[in-house]
Amino acid sequence: NAMFSWQRTAFHFQPENNWMNDPNGPLYHKGWYHIFYQYNGESAVWGNISWGHAVSTDMIHWLHLPIAMVPDRWFDVNGVWTGSATFLPDGNIVMLYTGATNENVQVQNLAYPANLSDPLLLDWVKYDGNPVLVPPPGIGSKDFRDPTTAWIGPDGKWRIAIGSRVNTTGISLVYTTTNFITYDLKDQILHAVPGTGMWECVDLYPVSKNGSKGLDTSVNGPEIKHVLKASLDDTKLDHYAIGTYYPENDTWVPDNPAEDVGTGLQVDYGRYYASKTFYDPHKERRVVWGWINETDTENDDLRKGWASVQTIPRTVVLDSKTGTNVLQWPIEEIETLRLNSTEFEGVVVEPGSVVPLDIGTATQLDIFADFEIESLGSESINEKSVGCGGGSVDRSALGPFGLLVIADETLSEQTPIYFRSSNSDTFFCADETRSSKAPDVSKVVYGSKVPVLSDEKFSMRVLVDHSIIESFAQGGRTVITSRVYPTKAIYGAARIFLFNNATGLKIKASLKIWELNSAFIRPFPMDQAQ
Ligand code: DQQ
């Protein structure tokens, strides 16, 4: 469909057509990265949910494979919903996923590859004794979904966590198992946070305190913290907190009770949901995938014939400098797409001005930008915390300043990605309000606080891909994904600018900007499918 073809991304993963949502069961096997995803093969809206499947050797270039699982059994006939992969010590892979049954009850099902020696893992077998878990007493039949990757406790038993709720309290249950067929519900729950509602897509994973390498899911010890993440059904936001996991009783306790799961940090402050991590043994890293939903109308999605993309996979580690947040960063393989680059040194941006950055085509970019500030007056500025609320046109002495991306020459369309400081804190923001001339798309000002340490410049990395902007502040402490729908700032008309809307300071910016190639995301050769 040519009408909206410029909104199609060039290096973000998506199926060739129709609807996609959550990433499912990411894993690495025999040299191939596998991604599965919630997929409706019949339409560009949610429904008839199956597991789409694709493989890659670098998580950038992809080969689409035939659908891995379709809703064809009583225990999943209303949907093969979200799930996770676990590697057993003997090399077997088990996949646990939620099925919506013939009676629309949420149950957990077991599936496994028909042929482990097939690097593409084309065929999946659903265990005949499914379901392996049904909602326990006291849990609603529609509040029991999205099993995690399993981890082993000190008693040698496997554990899985499953999201749920009790009234408006979001909770995660824990089960133990030795065979993935029979399970015991632990008396204590992993964690609960009042007021956060249903927890979807729970994730629990270890991070090392010194911020190095990623860790396999069962690793634990004194030098390790645990991240607990829940996708909040009520707000459609992914929240996490850092804390300690106690294997003795399978509970998790946040480091800072005031910033608990759902009351503190978000994985991403933009358009982002249902994230899932996996351990990549090949590069000893933990990688997080996330779903970028559309913010256009359902009718436009149907007209386009497709909806949603996945983020560029990101490594995730604990930020050893702050100890209070994770760092997310695009996997290094994205760098293989880099073409020509342009550098700008010490570009001065006066208060209230915009400076074009002449780089040619600006639809596929990997941008690194550092900002230093220079006060204009001798009297000290005293400014209270302001946040992102008023957008990039809301001027004050100390900000905002940053980049305008996916902008046309006349700035009739633009998405500012920027810092907004006060004397007490700094916010990192993305302002979509002028991102598109299209009337029906939602246009939000996103953002949150970002720690900027005393020896640090303001720094951002921004991936631009036609209609997706992934923005990383201070090495990935705060991340914002923007889903925008330009109508003018497309193809050769897309530009990039520096801007400074502060009234009390000049900024000096240094940038390195790469143009990025498109990725190959190819259909499965059907003549080989028989
Ligand atoms: N999407 C899946 C559910 C999950 C939700 C269904 C999160 O398993 O809870 O498509 O987006």
Answer for the pair 190, 161: CB distance below 8 angstroms, yes or no.
yes
Q: What's the whole-number mean pLDDT along residues 230-246?
A: 98
Beta strand pairing status for 224-232 and 237-246? Answer: antiparallel
pLDDT at 2 over 70: no
Q: What's the whole-number mean pLDDT along residues 134-149?
A: 98
Q: How confident is the model at residue 208 (pLDDT cuts 50, 70, 90)?
A: very high
Q: What is the pLDDT of residue 353?
A: 97
Atom of ligand 1 nearest to the CA of 291: 11
Give the tens place of pLDDT for each residue, 74-84: 999 999 999 99
Domain parsing of the chain, residue ranges: 2-7+20-330, 339-516
Which residue has its alpha carbon closest to ligand 1 atom 9?
A: 200
- Average pLDDT for the chain: 96
Q: Quote the CA–CA distance of 472 and 368 in Å, as a whole number.
A: 10
Q: What's the whole-number mean pLDDT along residues 248-264?
A: 97
Give the tens place of pLDDT for each residue, 455-509: 999 999 999 999 999 999 999 999 999 999 999 999 999 999 999 999 999 999 9
Q: Quote the CA–CA distance of 273 and 276 in Å, as a whole number.
A: 9
Q: How confident is the model at residue 115 (pLDDT cuts 50, 70, 90)?
A: very high
What ipTM, to 2 d.p.?
A: 0.99
pLDDT at 349 over 50: yes
Which H or E element spans position 303?
helix 298-304
Measured in angstroms, how far is the CA atom of residue 371 from the centroid of ligand 1? 40
The residues, ordered by sequence, that sit 6+ positions from 500 with a Cβ below 8 Å of its Cβ are 349, 350, 351, 352, 353, 401, 506, 507
Fold classification of 339-516 is Jelly Rolls (2.60.120)
HEC assignment per residue over 247-302: CCCCEEEECCHHHCCCCCCECCCCCCEEEEEEEECCCCEEEEEEEECCCCCHHHHH
Measured in angstroms, how far is the CA atom of residue 49 from the centroid of ligand 1? 10
* Best mutation site among 19, 39, 201 for ligand 1 pocket (most ligand atoms within 8 Å of CB): 201
Q: Quote the CA–CA distance of 293 and 504 in Å, as a whole number.
A: 38
Within 10 Å of residue 390's Cβ, how many Cβ atoms?
Answer: 15
Q: What's the whole-number mean pLDDT along residues 49-67?
A: 98
* Best mutation site among 20, 141, 146 for ligand 1 pocket (most ligand atoms within 8 Å of CB): 146
Measured in angstroms, how far is the CA atom of residue 200 from the centroid of ligand 1? 7
Give the tens place of pLDDT for each residue, 153-178: 999 999 999 999 999 999 999 999 99
Buried b (16+ CB within 10 A) or exposed e, 262-286: bbbbbbbbbbbbbbbbbbbeeeebb
The percent of residues above 90 in pLDDT, for the chain, comes to: 93
Atom of ligand 1 nearest to the CA of 200: 9
Q: What is the pLDDT of residue 47?
A: 98
Closest CA to 474 of 391, 320, 370, 374: 370
146 lines ligand 1 (CB under 6 A): yes
Q: What is the pLDDT of residue 530?
A: 45
Q: What is the pLDDT of residue 528?
A: 55
Please confirm, yes or no, whether 22 is among the known catalytic residues.
yes
Measured in angstroms, how far is the CA atom of residue 364 from the centroid of ligand 1? 30
Answer for the pair 459, 370: CB distance below 8 angstroms, yes or no.
yes
Q: From the options 1.20.58.220, 1.20.1250.20, 2.115.10.20, 1.10.3300.10, give the CATH code of 2-7+20-330.
A: 2.115.10.20
143 lines ligand 1 (CB under 6 A): no
Q: What's the whole-number mean pLDDT along residues 339-361?
A: 96
The percent of residues above 70 in pLDDT, for the chain, comes to: 98
pLDDT at 108 over 90: yes
Give the tens place of pLDDT for each residue, 149-158: 999 999 999 9
Atom of ligand 1 nearest to the CA of 98: 8
Give the tens place of pLDDT for each residue, 259-309: 999 999 999 999 999 999 999 999 999 999 999 999 999 999 999 999 999
Measured in angstroms, how far is the CA atom of residue 238 from the centroid of ligand 1? 13
Beta strand pairing status for 199-208 and 106-113? Answer: unpaired
432 lines ligand 1 (CB under 6 A): no
Q: Which of 2-11, 89-98, 246-255 has the lowest mean pLDDT?
A: 2-11
84 lines ligand 1 (CB under 6 A): no
Q: Is 8 exposed, middle or buried (0-12, 13-18, 19+ CB in 10 A)?
A: middle
Q: What separation in angstroms does the CA of 188 have from each of 153, 159, 174, 252, 329? A: 15, 13, 8, 10, 35
